[in-house]
Each structure stands twice: as structure tokens, then as C-alpha cells.
Amino acid sequence: MSERDIYQRQGFAGAVGLGERPALILVDFVEGFVDPAHLGGGNIPDAADATVPLLSAFRERGWPVAHTRVVYADDGSDAGAFARKCPKLLTLTETAPISQILPPLTPRQDELVVRKRQASGFFETRLMGWLTWRAIDTLVVTGCTTSGCVRATVVDAVSNNLRPIVITDCVGDRAMGPHEANLFDMGQKYADLMTRDDFLAASGRLVQPRRQ
């Protein structure tokens, strides 16, 4: 019996499905998570490149877009256990070059930029309130890393009764083993998996979310 057969037999891999009002989140597409000399590498640069057309499509349709950054105080005074586990995260300060969002994905003025100190884009941020005000029911997830901040954001999204859609060619990790394992696991338990082009083809029927 294959691994997929085991999950299927136990009733996993149901579909959350597309709702009616999507928003896009770009998780931590910053310089330091692309550069293997810092905290990046692997297939993250390819994922960032693949996200550019998806971001353009959301903008053209007038659909909400949010970005996240990991940002710590210059003196590290707001650090917690997460930074103790990975001390190099403390180099991601507000003005540090490695903490800046990649130029091809630069946020527009009407897009939310979430500054966070934990893996999830939801933890102690205004993200859920921003989504609720716009009556969003579907969160389209891109970013890095698949096994870390993407996964944490997806788990919190479904915990808040959103429909997470992970765009498989628009998420990346510094190593392919964790990337592939976490895509499989999220697809079994927390989210639907779609390629960018499949999502764009399927999302044409969705209504335009309310903007503020």
C-alpha cells in the first residue's frame, strides 16, 4: 500500500475548494530568503519569479494582496524562542537590505505589508482583521519557506476557517526534501494544491472582493 493509499483510506485529502472572494499572500519573499548566503537558496528564486505573473493577475482583477516580512528590532529586544532557535533571523531588521521585499514583487500602496516575528503571517498581526473586513474566504498562498512560514500561515488560515490554496510553483524552500514533504502534508490535511496556471484558469468565475 502506498503512502497516498494510506492517507486516502483514512479519509484525508478532502478539498477545501475555491470560495468566492480570494486574496493573495506573498510570504517572506525578501532578499535574505532568496540568497543562499543568508537564509535562502533552493528553489526559492524560481518560486519568486513564478509569482510575478500571479501578482500581476491579482492586481489587474482588483483583488486584495498582502505581503509578509520578518522584522526584528535593531537591538533584538523583541526576540523570542523562534529567534533563539534560528539566531540569524535577528539580522532581518526594518532597514536591513536582506529584509527588503524583492523588487519585482514590491508592494503597492494599497497592499498590506505584515511585519511579523513568528513563522505565521497571522500570529499577533492585523492580517485576519484585514481579510475579514474584505469578506475574504479564500487565501491564495505563495512564498517561502514551504516547510516554515508558508506552512505555519496555511495552518493558521485553515484554523480561521479560510480556504487555503497553496500555489505549488510559487512556494519554495532551501532544500527540496522539506519542500516536497510539506507540500504533500499540507495537501493531505490543510490546503488545496494548485499550480499557478491552473488557479488562474479556475478563478475566472470568482467575484470581485470588496476593497477598502
| Cα 114 → chain centroid | 12
What are 73's three cell numbers? Answer: 528590532
Cα–Cα dist 51/44, whole Å: 11
Contact criterion met (CB below 8 Å) for 23 and 131? yes
Q: Quickly count helices (H) and strands (E) in the chain.
A: 7, 6
Contact criterion met (CB below 8 Å) for 112 and 66? yes
- Which of 183, 111, 117, 127 is CA-nearest to residue 150? 183
Residues with catalytic roles: 149
Contact criterion met (CB below 8 Å) for 119 and 149? yes
